[in-house]
């Protein structure tokens, strides 16, 4: 991506395995989260698991590990994964529809205005000062506040399309990695110079392309399942 010569051996290095680059850290974190929930989910109540994830998200910032094993990201974003598990188990998403859409919009706007006043901070590095501790706590709580409101808005009739596209997030998140790498090598042939406008246009094109591929994959998968089940259904119907 930096214009260096391609070296296949660099993709087999231990450093890349320990500190996955670019968007691949999410896959590592996803593996951590599923293992932890699998081991602790049946032994702890949902609320206890959620509170424990919040506690570890704050406590992990004191550990002097940054990119190695995606440590900080794994703990910092773990509460949001647990929040999704809790919502699914307790079927709380349907209960969100009781919240008026106007209230959800107002809540999101208030949250974004509050976030705009905060100092930019990414939970990739361990705490360097007291301000980092405050920022991780406030950003985590703010994110937990905004997530249910955004989900509520996504379940409106006029925003259903965004909810369906959001179900393909993993395709977009992982797929855009390779498109950016390829694009950086071909953009100059098309005279593309990046600015705020062109970056948004390219991002939209990438999302549309990857969501299209994801939908086609789902269609092919469903057709194969129908074909695989049809002989059994025919045989069952012929039996007396």
**Burial of 57 from C-beta contacts in 10 A (0-12 / 13-18 / 19+):** buried
Helix axis angle for 130-154 and 46-59, nearest 10°, is 140
Question: Measured between alpha carbons, how far is 140 from 151 in angstroms, rounded to an integer?
Answer: 17
Length of the chain in terms of residues written: 240
CA 209 to chain centre: 18
Question: Measured between alpha carbons, how far is 171 from 214 in angstroms, rounded to an integer?
Answer: 7
Q: Which residues contact 159 (CB under 8 A, 6 or more apart)?
A: 153
* pTM metric for this prediction: 0.68
> Alpha-carbon Rg of the chain, whole angstroms?
22
| Whole-number pLDDT of residue 22 | 64
| Whole-number pLDDT of residue 106 | 92
CB distance 74 to 32 below 8 Å: yes
Q: What pLDDT tens digit does each residue of the chain (240 aa) get?
A: 344 555 555 555 556 556 666 667 888 888 888 888 888 766 777 788 888 889 999 999 998 888 888 888 889 999 998 888 888 777 777 777 788 888 988 999 999 888 888 887 778 888 888 888 998 999 899 988 998 888 888 777 777 667 677 777 777 777 777 777 777 777 777 777 766 677 777 778 888 888 888 888 888 888 888 777 766 554 445 454
Please give the torsion angle defined by the CA atoms of residues 94, 39, 19 and 2, in that order, rounded to the nearest 10 degrees: -20
| Whole-number pLDDT of residue 62 | 92
Please give the torsion angle defined by the CA atoms of residues 5, 68, 28 and 17, in that order, rounded to the nearest 10 degrees: 40
The structural domains of the chain, with segments of one domain joined by +, span 1-157, 168-240
CB distance 67 to 83 below 8 Å: no
Distances (CA, A) of 168 to 71, 161, 162: 25, 12, 10
| Whole-number pLDDT of residue 2 | 46
Question: Measured between alpha carbons, how far is 4 from 221 in angstroms, rounded to an integer?
Answer: 39
| Whole-number pLDDT of residue 21 | 62
CB distance 21 to 178 below 8 Å: no
CB distance 92 to 42 below 8 Å: no
């Amino acid at each position: 991506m930096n214009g260096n010569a391609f070296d296949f051996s660099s993709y087999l290095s231990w450093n890349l395995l320990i500190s996955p680059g670019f968007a691949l850290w999410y896959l590592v974190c996803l593996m951590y989260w599923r293992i932890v929930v699998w081991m602790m989910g049946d032994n702890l109540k949902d609320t206890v698991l959620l509170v424990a994830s919040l506690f570890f998200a704050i406590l992990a910032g004191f550990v002097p590990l940054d990119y190695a094993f995606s440590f900080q990201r794994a703990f910092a974003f773990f509460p949001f994964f647990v929040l999704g598990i809790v919502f699914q188990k307790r079927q709380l998403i349907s209960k969100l529809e009781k919240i008026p859409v106007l209230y959800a919009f107002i809540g999101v706007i208030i949250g974004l205005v509050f976030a705009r006043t905060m100092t930019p901070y990414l939970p990739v590095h361990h705490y360097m000062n007291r301000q980092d501790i405050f920022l991780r706590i406030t950003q985590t709580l703010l994110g937990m506040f905004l997530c249910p409101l955004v989900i509520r808005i996504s379940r409106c009739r006029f925003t259903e399309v965004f909810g369906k596209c959001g179900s393909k997030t993993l395709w977009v998140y992982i797929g855009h990695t390779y498109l950016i790498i390829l694009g950086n090598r071909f953009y100059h042939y098309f005279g593309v110079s990046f600015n705020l406008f062109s970056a948004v246009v390219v991002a939209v094109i990438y999302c549309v392309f990857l969501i299209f591929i994801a939908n086609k994959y789902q269609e092919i998968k469903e057709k194969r399942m129908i074909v695989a089940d049809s002989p059994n259904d025919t045989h069952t119907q012929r039996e007396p």
